[in-house]
Structure 1
Amino acid sequence: MLHEVFLALIGYSDNFLTQLLENDSILDSSESILIKRILNIASEYKSLKTFIDSNISVTGVDRSLGGSCSGKEDIQRQPFGVYLQAFCCGLNEVLVPYRKDIADLEGVSLTDPYLPLLTILSKVEEYSKLFEVLNYMIKQMSEQHVHGCQILDLLHREVTCSVNDVKEPLKCIIQSCHVVFFKQLSSWLLYGQLIDQYAEFFIQHVSDAQGTSTSTTTDSFSSQDTNEVLSLEPRRFSRDDSVHKYAIQYTMLPSYIIPSLAHKILFIGDTIVMFGCKPKEKNETGSYMSQYIPSLWGDREVEFFKKLQNLQAMKTFSHTEFEKTVDEFQSCVTEHLWKLAVEEAELFLQLKLMKDFFLLGRGELFLEFIQQADHILQNPRISTSTKAVNQAFHMAARKILINDDTINKFSFMLPGKSSSDVDEIKGSCWHLLTLTYKVSWPLHLLFDSVALDNYNRLFCFLLCVKKTQLNLHNIWRSHMQSRTPCVYESERAVWHLRNRLMFLVDNLQYYLQVDVLESQYMLLQSAVQATKDFEKIQKAHTLFQANILSQTFLLAETISSGSEMKSNPVQSVLAKVLDLCDRFCTSICSWGSDLNESQLLELHNMAQEYEGLVMYLLQLLSGLSLHPCGSHLSQLLLRLDFNRWFSKEHNDTSSYVVENSV
């Protein structure tokens, strides 16, 4: 009977023992109790053995076809993947001591045919708790369809909560799964390659991350696929690899890897992929990735590989060492990226160009451009408007001796006639103008679509202020060039209003260009020069944009009741002031030498509107400047209300309510 007991304990049939238990006349009651307890342990082991045999060598649909699955859904719902194989390998290794103990007991029974069942039970009962935990995990994996890195998370939770007798075997299993994890991680960190057919890694292609394709689960997972995961031989990149985008699949992210660390890992691999996709290096046959990897890692490639191997060999996962290693990878990548950006892409020159063009740093260029393009953009858009505007831009650039290589990086665009943005009432296209920029590789990481959109918002506002300032100056120039008396000599009120408008616009322009843009640009330059970390440059540039958008009043606020955006109140008042200036300039150009009553009334109304807008603006700036985030408003308030002249003049004036107040 002992041989039948040993056979049952190593996973073979227990029919003979079951029949003995059913026949009460053969066994003593105490023996029946012992055999039942032994069979319970044997049953637990058999479940583990069956699971291992079903999953250790075959994954995916190949395993399912061998069973009795009734439909396609049943096949897809079964566990699969390389992590499952690693789990089974670790599980098999954990069961080796149990099998050895059974073999030793069998050897003892050969020399002692009367070996007590209690001796056998006392030996195998040591594994009872372990088998119970392992079977519980397998049940969870099956019911919750746990696969890939989710298995690591499941193991980690069990290791954290288990006692020592169970904890050590579980550590052995998680170490086996970490072999696959660190092979995939090494491939991603060192070469930017994602070998992950079954979407088991926590970094996935965007299309996979949005919804794992079920078609992959119906494909067989060959030994070649496993070899790819377990080896680090660089593969040749195809053209399609250059358009792949990657994202973190948080459902696959183990809980012991924090999201910020996962983002660093994503950034490193993404950057290496980008190095292999440099536009000028693309060709039909060559492996352009190999041209960048040596220059990126240099002599440290072996060092980094060994660091990952050491992490893989650890029986207990070390969060500190893991984060330290990832930080070293990131430091090396960002430093290499910094060299490419600064030395090859001429980052400082590109930042200067952004300031000169998008932020109107070259004021003389846009002064000439406004004069050249005004007759085009003052009229409704036609099919040739975009071409004509760009010709005017190039002509203006040549007049102030800007070389063609620089000016060719920029061009203007106008929306089509069907665009809802076209102002059919005014017929003007100035506010529709969009400046585009040809970004040098790899500065597309810095000047992405969001950053360029922000620059265009700034450009449109600054150009509007510049054009308004020029129009007000042109009134004076027209007067000085005129040889006959005109409205400006006969009506002092016109000159008075023009001077006050000019004062406000000039001080606004000085505030924007000097107090905001120039000072923030100097801070950006200092931050860029002080680091060799490209990620810090990205943060400095993002902060630069946020600051100038805030201090030029272009940041909109989200209304708490929904996603609707509310414009900045200061920006709304400034828009009304600039609109008043445009209406004033237009009216002056149409008036004759003597003003009639309607023209005098219009002039009076504009003067009243100006006073009300200025007072409202000053009150707004004064109130907002008291807030911690409104300190920059004090500078604009000082320029507009120098020596509190406006405040004293309008001290007794009734408060003005802005029409459609913000």
Structure 2
Amino acid sequence: MRCRDIIENIIKLGFYYRELDRFAAKSRNLSWIRSKNESPLSQTSEFLKETVGNQSVYRRAIANGIVEFLSIYRSAVLHIEQKLMADSLPILATVTQGLHKFLLFFQPLYELILEIERDGIYGGKLLNLLYKRSHCGVPELQTCIKRLLWHGHQVMYNQLTCWMVYGILHDQYAEFFISREQKKNSEHEPSHTNNIQKMAHVSNSDQSLSDWYMGFSISMGMLPEYIPVCVAESILFAGKAIRVLRNPSSSFRSVDVLTHQETGPQTYKESLRKKPSLNTTLTGDELLPQSEADKIESRLKTLQVYIHTKILSLLSVYC
């Protein structure tokens, strides 16, 4: 390889490093640190302009992965610098040998961030993009993209935990495939069944039932392609069920409190012992229809089998 080609490759690496570092700083909301000569007021205003509309937890996670690779690159440059200073006659072959592997994935990473910024990709769409890019024939690049995908999955796993364990939708920038439904004008909506209309009317004074019937849905645009729709529906049902169980209906809470106040602490404990068995038929606005309960149970069983299989596959890969 000619000296000119070697120098051009070094220049390309410097350009790619600068652009990747810029994307990482912008996505991690640290771009205001770069301007040291500007006043704090101008830095703050510029920072707010840049971050409005560009906030994304998934982009921030990907940026953290890019920072890892840039750190490895800096360490390699430092090592090469030490070798060049130790040699009595420095040669460019030392630079080529130490930095050639970074050319294999710095350019694809640069093209990746260009596509992300140009098309405004975030959330589940970003996971789809990384998943597609991870299927390539270059082992170094494949390892790099899979590491970025791992960072993105950590965000999704945290959102899944909040939703399925606590019934909380932790999605500040609308990037999760479970989304809260927006209220629409009734004149533009299709007609619902009588059962849904009845329960929706009752749920005006009961937030838990409102959440169950009209609160949440699957955002197909943010659903990663490698997650089946049936699994997404199971996740949706599981989160809604946990949400309802953790926030019982107002009618149930009011009856419970009034009973405790009227009977007193001692007699209230005795009344608990005299409560009817589970086989007794109960009615009330706080209870879900039997069909919905059966559907929840079926979805939860499906979800349990899927999670068990997924955990076993992950353990076989990483252990």
**Is TM (by shorter chain) over 0.5?**
yes
Offset at residue 92 of structure 1 (A): 1.1
Which of the numbers 233, 250, 258 marks the counterpart of 2:228? 258
Q: What letter corresponds to residue 346 of structure 1 in structure 2? A: T
Q: Is residue 129 from structure 1 mapped to residue 109 from structure 2 by the alignment?
A: no
Residue in structure 1 matched with residue 308 of structure 2 by the alignment? none
Q: Is residue 33 from structure 1 mapped to residue 20 from structure 2 by the alignment?
A: no
Seen in structure 2, the aligned counterparts of structure 1 residues 162 and 47 have a Cα distance that, compared at 3 Å, is: farther
Q: What letter corresponds to residue 52 of structure 1 in structure 2? A: A
Q: What letter corresponds to residue 183 of structure 1 in structure 2? A: N
Residue in structure 2 matched with residue 83 of structure 1 by the alignment? 58
Residue in structure 1 matched with residue 218 of structure 2 by the alignment? 248
Task: Give the whole-Å Cα distance in 1 for the aligned partners of 2:179 and 2:60.
Answer: 20
In 1, are the aligned partners of 2:80 and 2:95 still within 8 Å (CA)? yes
In 1, are the aligned partners of 2:122 and 2:175 still within 8 Å (CA)? yes
Offset at residue 122 of structure 1 (A): 3.0
Higher RCO (C-alpha under 8 Å, 6+ residues apart): 2
Offset at residue 119 of structure 1 (A): 2.0
SS of aligned partner of 1:32: helix
Seen in structure 2, the aligned counterparts of structure 1 residues 444 and 136 have a Cα distance that, compared at 3 Å, is: same
In 2, are the aligned partners of 1:209 and 1:247 still within 8 Å (CA)? no
Size of the alignment, in residue pairs?
244
Which of the numbers 241, 245, 258 marks the counterpart of 1:271? 241
Which entry has the higher C-alpha Rg, 1 or 2?
A: 1
Q: Is residue 66 from structure 1 mapped to residue 38 from structure 2 by the alignment?
A: no
Task: Give the whole-Å Cα distance in 1 for the aligned partners of 2:159 and 2:250.
Answer: 27
- For residues 286-305 of structure 1, what are the structure 2 equivalents within 5 Å? none
Q: Percent identity?
A: 23
Task: Give the whole-Å Cα distance in 2 for the aligned partners of 1:82 and 1:200.
Answer: 8
SS of aligned partner of 1:176: helix
Q: What letter corresponds to residue 262 of structure 1 in structure 2? A: A
Offset at residue 441 of structure 1 (A): 3.0
1:562-589 per-residue CA deviation (whole Å, 9 max, x = no partner) reads xxxxxxxxxxxxxxxxxxxxxxxxxxxx
Offset at residue 66 of structure 1 (A): 2.6
Residue in structure 2 matched with residue 56 of structure 1 by the alignment? 28
Q: Is residue 534 from structure 1 mapped to residue 294 from structure 2 by the alignment?
A: yes
Offset at residue 151 of structure 1 (A): 1.5
* Coordinate RMSD, CA, aligned: 3.5
Task: Give the whole-Å Cα distance in 2 for the aligned partners of 1:114 and 1:85.
Answer: 43
Which of the numbers 154, 157, 160 marks the counterpart of 2:135? 160
Task: Give the whole-Å Cα distance in 2 for the aligned partners of 1:209 and 1:109.
Answer: 67
Task: Give the whole-Å Cα distance in 2 for the aligned partners of 1:113 and 1:241.
Answer: 76
In 2, are the aligned partners of 1:90 and 1:176 still within 8 Å (CA)? yes
Residue in structure 2 matched with residue 178 of structure 1 by the alignment? 153
1:532-561 per-residue CA deviation (whole Å, 9 max, x = no partner) reads x8228889xxxxxxxxxxxxxxxxxxxxxx
TM-score normalised per structure 1: 0.33
Offset at residue 280 of structure 1 (A): 3.2
TM-score normalised per structure 2: 0.66
- For residues 566-577 of structure 1, what are the structure 2 equivalents within 5 Å? none
Residue in structure 2 matched with residue 575 of structure 1 by the alignment? none
Residue in structure 1 matched with residue 307 of structure 2 by the alignment? none
Seen in structure 2, the aligned counterparts of structure 1 residues 443 and 254 have a Cα distance that, compared at 3 Å, is: same
Task: Give the whole-Å Cα distance in 2 for the aligned partners of 1:242 and 1:440.
Answer: 9
Task: Give the whole-Å Cα distance in 2 for the aligned partners of 1:262 and 1:151.
Answer: 18
Q: What letter corresponds to residue 263 of structure 1 in structure 2? A: E
- Higher helix proportion, which one? 2
Seen in structure 2, the aligned counterparts of structure 1 residues 90 and 162 have a Cα distance that, compared at 3 Å, is: farther
Task: Give the whole-Å Cα distance in 2 for the aligned partners of 1:154 and 1:344.
Answer: 51
Q: Unpaired segments of 5 or more residues in structure 1? A: 1-28, 211-238, 287-341, 351-438, 448-532, 540-662
Residue in structure 2 matched with residue 139 of structure 1 by the alignment? 114
Residue in structure 1 matched with residue 271 of structure 2 by the alignment? none
